[in-house]
Structure 1
């Protein structure tokens, strides 16, 4: 009975499982642990022609054949609804598309990881602000994909579990080192989620309700960059990037603007103020734009303001609960934007830290949750910190009780 966790993302998704040692591990599909949350259908067909990276590659083909974009189902998480239509085909609903996406993951994982053993159980993560209907639709899609048991977990709580698993793996003696209270800042392609993990004698506890915004992420910045190119195209060429001025050139948004964001994010780190020249092809026309530090800050400001508001909201919850933050951990690709570091330092006077598993922490937490229900318990002798078998209550050598590290959270907020 194989089990997996899926971090179902706006732009990319990740999948993980728990190995024989009880550790969560991300699974690469088509050479990467980042699986584009994209499904491509051929016109007139109900079954997908490509999923994941191969479907994302259709954006390049759509430069010559724009009509292909109509059949690239995208933004599934953000636009999930009962009545929406992700393609022109009325028979292809959002639930159908997500079902096909989950089938693709399930089939690949069974083949690559479990030696064709069926994956029966899955944990799927969702943002804090997801309503009950959207969770139902995700559950329905997973059931249609062939999973026998589907459990749901809030993304910030999955991130917390993934982080605790990370520090347990990297420490030689987890018992002897204290982490203190940790704020986890999970900033992805479409959502921002914050969770607070409090270290107690009995383990780690999500003692404060997490908070989040399902319309605050890297894709919002992509759209700001698109608007800047569109204004430039209008002023220099006399027309919009898209022939229909009320629409968006999805290919340009999903490829050029996304690449621009990543390049600008890498360039404007710390105190770098050197302008960066960007060149693109909008349709058949060449465009060039110089972006200064001030212009970059202007482009990201709407998203950063939303992030700042959420950060202050979480800070107030922490203050109200009369606890302190000892560490801030960054998770998610959008956390690489240097302004994030500044926001956190201004609010908490703490320099945030990255972890090696930042991109897959949520998927790892989901895998742990579906496997154990909580974090796997690690037991230690209270006298010397030596790890003990979790099935015994007392150290056989000195008689002291086991020291349990655990994380319990989801039952508090469901």
Structure 2
């Protein structure tokens, strides 16, 4: 395509795929635009619902969640890249209204009812639906097809979670040109501002990212000229606003049982209504010191009413807040950075609006003023779009073109050695991309093969860490113990995804570990099948929307005809027209499942009878 301006060239969009809300941004008119969805909202609920007639994504799904809890899916980000047996998945299942079962290779599968059939989805598929919605939102705004995207991920995501997110992007029809850690993306948004002083050559910034389901802390050094160096990251991929909501829900459930002697847990609709009310109350408590939760006929005709104070909210969640601060201190320690060296503390994620979080941060940083100029809901998508513009090569902004990003790996990577010990090859907070090798020897006489297990984590015992994959190295020449040598090479790309290559030094034979196919991750064939399924669902959604539009057009036609005959002079055909209108209204009531052609035919028939008089 000939270059005539930025709008004529394809640009990579930036997508913040959040646990509770997602956001998309793009470079347009030489600046970043946060793109509103079809409801006019700048963030979209990360929610997918299945109803009898269609699939809903975003606001539509969230709006009907209380009436259809078992078929409304949220928190897919808390499942992605995890195993069904993961203790955190098992804990979450207790609070989710939808059903999760064990699939092949210990993968969690979400079960819903859709068009009278039972459907099972992987978290990657649900996430791909949300990404597809963000893609459509961007395409509608930009007026062109979007293929390339930069997707953000929690800094503390392990390799499986990163790869699973990349798979979700592929299923959504996106070419993921880069994945960037969420706090790093926020730091890019912050770092676009010019340095306040011409003498200032660098800034140390701490990004405190507390969202709906994940928590990250990153410490970066931003050098004048657009170089971003990540010094350390720390976090918890299972801590955020959803957990605060759960504590409030549990407290209310306990109060209901104490007062009325009845258990709310089996009533999924009641729990869904209560969860929505608690989330709303949590938001209010960030502004006011007290609110109330009022729900009519919550359970068995009983109305529920209780006052909720900010102090009670803080008491219920204080252990979570303390965990955040301890994680922050770990990050400072890993970066070997004093508190006084930090220029700015940047708040990212909706949960950073909680006053107690802000006061604890200010106290830790000697009452330093927190940096709040960035919108905490949009900063991550903003930074991702900046990187997308740079990688697409379309921006004329010098700050964008000069951007250099040096990230780190969040968790240590290594292999299992004798005695189930975890031997680290690449320590956590090592700058990436990175390639590093280590030599290992056989541990038995005449050993001809070796099973290599690759782990990610910080524990001394291998099985206490996350198993990324295993491969069998065969063809080792028989030799005494400790003679045969294996060169184990770990290579991490810019997206933090790992490839392990093992070479038998005496023969030169190599074996490569394909992490993507281990632990139930998706194969190329599975991804291709899911892409076809996604196209099928998209086609079904389009057909449903056409039918809804046709029914709306028919009802508009009825309204217009009734309005016209009300004011018309006497006609011998008036009774016939009124009868046809009444018959059409009755037909609509009894034929909601009618085909698109039949709806069009009814409208044409109505017009043919009524329009003769006009």
How high is the TM-score relative to the length of structure 1? 0.80
Aligned counterpart, 1:36: 45
Structure 1 residues 202 and 31: alpha-carbon distance in aligned structure 2, compared to 1, 3 A threshold: closer
SS for the counterpart of 1:240 is coil
Deviation of residue 293 (structure 1)? Answer: 4.4
Deviation of residue 374 (structure 1)? Answer: 11
Question: Residues of 1 paired with 2:398 and 2:198: CA distance?
Answer: 9
Asked if the contact 1:223/1:253 (under 8 Å) is kept, the reply is no
* Corresponding residue to 2:166 among 133, 139, 159: 139
Structure 1 residues 124 and 53: alpha-carbon distance in aligned structure 2, compared to 1, 3 A threshold: same
Deviation of residue 86 (structure 1)? Answer: 2.4
Question: Residues of 2 paired with 1:185 and 1:206: CA distance?
Answer: 16
Asked if the contact 2:183/2:207 (under 8 Å) is kept, the reply is yes
Deviation of residue 294 (structure 1)? Answer: 3.3
Asked if the contact 2:170/2:176 (under 8 Å) is kept, the reply is yes
Question: Residues of 2 paired with 1:240 and 1:156: CA distance?
Answer: 41
Asked if the contact 1:38/1:56 (under 8 Å) is kept, the reply is yes
Asked if the contact 2:48/2:74 (under 8 Å) is kept, the reply is yes
Asked if the contact 1:26/1:33 (under 8 Å) is kept, the reply is yes
Asked if the contact 1:374/1:407 (under 8 Å) is kept, the reply is no
Question: Residues of 1 paired with 2:364 and 2:16: CA distance?
Answer: 28
Question: Residues of 2 paired with 1:259 and 1:11: CA distance?
Answer: 14
Deviation of residue 232 (structure 1)? Answer: 0.7
**1:24 matches 2:32:** yes
Question: Structure 1, unaligned stretches of length 5 or more?
Answer: 63-67, 269-274, 381-388, 391-404
Aligned pairs for 1:91-240 within 5 A: 91-113=120-142, 115=143, 117-165=144-192, 167-168=193-194, 180-240=203-263
* Corresponding residue to 1:317 among 322, 330, 334: 334
Aligned counterpart, 1:401: none
Asked if the contact 1:36/1:52 (under 8 Å) is kept, the reply is yes
Aligned counterpart, 2:362: 345
Deviation of residue 220 (structure 1)? Answer: 0.8
Aligned counterpart, 1:409: 406
Structure 1 residues 193 and 373: alpha-carbon distance in aligned structure 2, compared to 1, 3 A threshold: farther
Aligned counterpart, 1:308: 325
**1:51 matches 2:57:** yes
Question: Residues of 2 paired with 1:231 and 1:92: CA distance?
Answer: 33
SS for the counterpart of 1:252 is helix
Question: Residues of 1 paired with 2:186 and 2:306: CA distance?
Answer: 37
Aligned counterpart, 2:277: 256
Aligned counterpart, 1:271: none
Deviation of residue 179 (structure 1)? Answer: 7.5
Asked if the contact 2:264/2:271 (under 8 Å) is kept, the reply is no
SS for the counterpart of 2:173 is coil
Question: Residues of 1 paired with 2:336 and 2:363: CA distance?
Answer: 16
Question: Residues of 2 paired with 1:286 and 1:4: CA distance?
Answer: 47
- Report the count of equivalent residues: 368
Deviation of residue 161 (structure 1)? Answer: 1.1
Task: Write the deviation string for residues 283-317 of structure 1: whole angstroms up to 9, x where unpaired.
Answer: 34222223344322212212212111112112323
Question: Residues of 2 paired with 1:32 and 1:123: CA distance?
Answer: 21
Question: Residues of 2 paired with 1:31 and 1:332: CA distance?
Answer: 20
Question: Residues of 1 paired with 2:257 and 2:23: CA distance?
Answer: 38
Aligned counterpart, 1:65: none
Deviation of residue 356 (structure 1)? Answer: 4.0
Question: Residues of 1 paired with 2:147 and 2:392: CA distance?
Answer: 19
**1:290 matches 2:313:** no
Higher Cα radius of gyration: 2
Asked if the contact 1:122/1:149 (under 8 Å) is kept, the reply is yes
Question: Residues of 1 paired with 2:132 and 2:271: CA distance?
Answer: 25
Deviation of residue 6 (structure 1)? Answer: 0.8
Structural RMSD (CA): 2.9
Structure 1 residues 345 and 201: alpha-carbon distance in aligned structure 2, compared to 1, 3 A threshold: same
**1:330 matches 2:357:** no
SS for the counterpart of 2:243 is helix
SS for the counterpart of 2:41 is coil
Aligned counterpart, 1:265: 286
Question: Structure 2, unaligned stretches of length 5 or more?
Answer: 1-9, 84-106, 113-117, 409-430, 433-495, 497-614
Deviates more, 1:333-342 or 1:194-203: 194-203
Structure 1 residues 212 and 253: alpha-carbon distance in aligned structure 2, compared to 1, 3 A threshold: farther
Structure number with the bigger relative contact order (C-alpha 8 A, sep ≥ 6) is: 1
Structure 1 residues 178 and 254: alpha-carbon distance in aligned structure 2, compared to 1, 3 A threshold: farther
SS for the counterpart of 2:276 is helix
